[in-house]
Amino acid sequence: MPTRTTPGFTGPGQSTARSLASGAAQRGRLGRSLLVHGPREAGAGAFVDDLLALLLCEDPDLRLRPCNGCRGCRDARARVHPDLVVGSPAIWRESRTGGESIVAAARRWLMEASGAPVVADRRIVLIEDADAASEQAQNALLKALEEPNPRQMFVLTATDPGRLLPTIRSRCQALRLGPVPREELVGWLMDSEHLPADQAQMVAVISRGMAGAAQAYARNPESLAWRRRVQGELLALLGGGRAARFAAARELVADAAARADAGNEPLPARGDDETAGRAAPATAQQRAGALLVLDAWIDLARDLVVVAAGRSPLASAGEVLDGLEAAGRRLSAATAARSVRALERVREGVAGNAAPRLAMSVAMLAWPTIEDAW
């Protein structure tokens, strides 16, 4: 495959983070600890793969790293490199033995990770979701970061760096991920995920340029059908009364919670941490389900704003959603825009601590009724 032998990063976008990392690597000025952070939907996966290849590439010419042809690059991307150690709060939790606490498991793991490299000149310690670690586990990590060990380098990933200890943040060189330009994401979806052009376009629009969300949609085409069905139901509810809306809110959340639980949905961004992991699973699932529904809902509301303003061709779901045009023309742009803001507030609440089902009822009340909207 040509992408494997052409040197350079192969993931989509992230030009700032990319040039920061490769520029510093070329000049031999890369910090000992890197922090890759960005919203969950931005998908750190492809960027981290590139970064690991950059760090473990064996090409003698620093400017050609990652060369994508050497064993170091291949093993780094496949995450089987002997000098790559991968951990996360979830892995520490899984690896507990006997009555060991997560913090003790984290300490033990960090100790083992500090061993000497086998083939490379340093060991790469990748810690995913570092911000999901408890304060105690983060303190253990901080100790490891502070140890002067030139044969070890850390790569941390986080969706919310604000949940990391400031002392950890200040020790790390930050690489921030964000949305990818539309055309680049479309090209990447066609090359890497083998989507036909029209589908790649649609997925890029729906995922708002977020590569992680786009990849998840590409790999679960069924989730696109689910999303259209949810949006169709919500459109129909513009003409529905209170009772119908509340019943629909309950059903939509239950259905989405089951999907989120089965793991076949692009994960919405939410406040996952150790305490969330201990919460009643029913609530955690409902929260994940409500976020999935709200994401589809907010996109639908945005499309309605666009249609209501008389610019239908720009609406992202316009070509696939029956009734969008008709509904949008019967709403004022101001009403539609108000509903977007209301839904965004509800989403913020659900991503925080609001009770998912109650929040969905609030969202239903904020959803305009076609009759009133004239």
Kindly state the helix (H) or strand (E) to which residue 106 belongs, with its residue range.
helix 102-113
**Minimum CB–partner distance for residue 63 and Zn ion (Å):** 12
Stretch that binds Zn ion, among 60-68, 128-136, 154-162, 233-241 (CB under 5 A): 60-68
3-state secondary structure 145-189: HHCCCCCEEEEEEECCHHHCCHHHHHHCEEEECCCCCHHHHHHHH
**Minimum CB–partner distance for residue 22 and Zn ion (Å):** 13
Q: How far apart are CA 66 and CA 72, in angstroms?
A: 9
Minimum CB distance to Zn ion smaller for 59 or for 100: 59
Is residue 272 a contact partner of residue 338, using CB atoms and an 8 Å limit? no
Q: How far apart are CA 277 and CA 59, in angstroms?
A: 42
Minimum CB distance to Zn ion smaller for 39 or for 69: 69
Stretch that binds Zn ion, among 16-24, 42-50, 61-69, 353-361 (CB under 5 A): 61-69
**Minimum CB–partner distance for residue 187 and Zn ion (Å):** 23
Minimum CB distance to Zn ion smaller for 13 or for 72: 72
Q: By three-state DSSP, how is residue 282 classified?
A: helix
Minimum CB distance to Zn ion smaller for 22 or for 335: 22
Cα–Cα distance list, 335 to 243, 304, 366 (Å): 22, 10, 10
Is residue 302 a contact partner of residue 275, using CB atoms and an 8 Å limit? no
Binder of Zn ion out of 67, 180, 234, 235 (CB under 5 A): 67
Q: How far apart are CA 68 and CA 181, in angstroms?
A: 24
**Minimum CB–partner distance for residue 152 and Zn ion (Å):** 20
Binder of Zn ion out of 17, 57, 216, 308 (CB under 5 A): 57
DSSP letter (8 states) at residue 11: S
**Minimum CB–partner distance for residue 347 and Zn ion (Å):** 42
Stretch that binds Zn ion, among 40-48, 50-58, 151-159, 328-336 (CB under 5 A): 50-58
Stretch that binds Zn ion, among 30-38, 69-77, 144-152, 314-322 (CB under 5 A): 69-77
Order of strands, sheet of 84-87, starting from the edge strand that comes earlier in the sequence: 84-87, 123-127, 152-158, 33-37, 173-176
Size of the site for Zn ion (CB under 5 A): 5
Q: How far apart are CA 273 and CA 132, in angstroms?
A: 4
Is residue 70 part of the contact set for Zn ion (CB under 5 A)?
yes
Stretch that binds Zn ion, among 11-19, 51-59, 210-218, 305-313 (CB under 5 A): 51-59
**Minimum CB–partner distance for residue 173 and Zn ion (Å):** 21
**Minimum CB–partner distance for residue 212 and Zn ion (Å):** 25
Alpha-carbon dihedral angle through residues 252, 310, 371, 349, given to the nearest 10 degrees: 40
Minimum CB distance to Zn ion smaller for 71 or for 311: 71
Site pattern 72..111 for Zn ion (x: CB under 5 A): -x--------------------------------------
Residues that bind Zn ion (CB under 5 A): 57, 59, 67, 70, 73
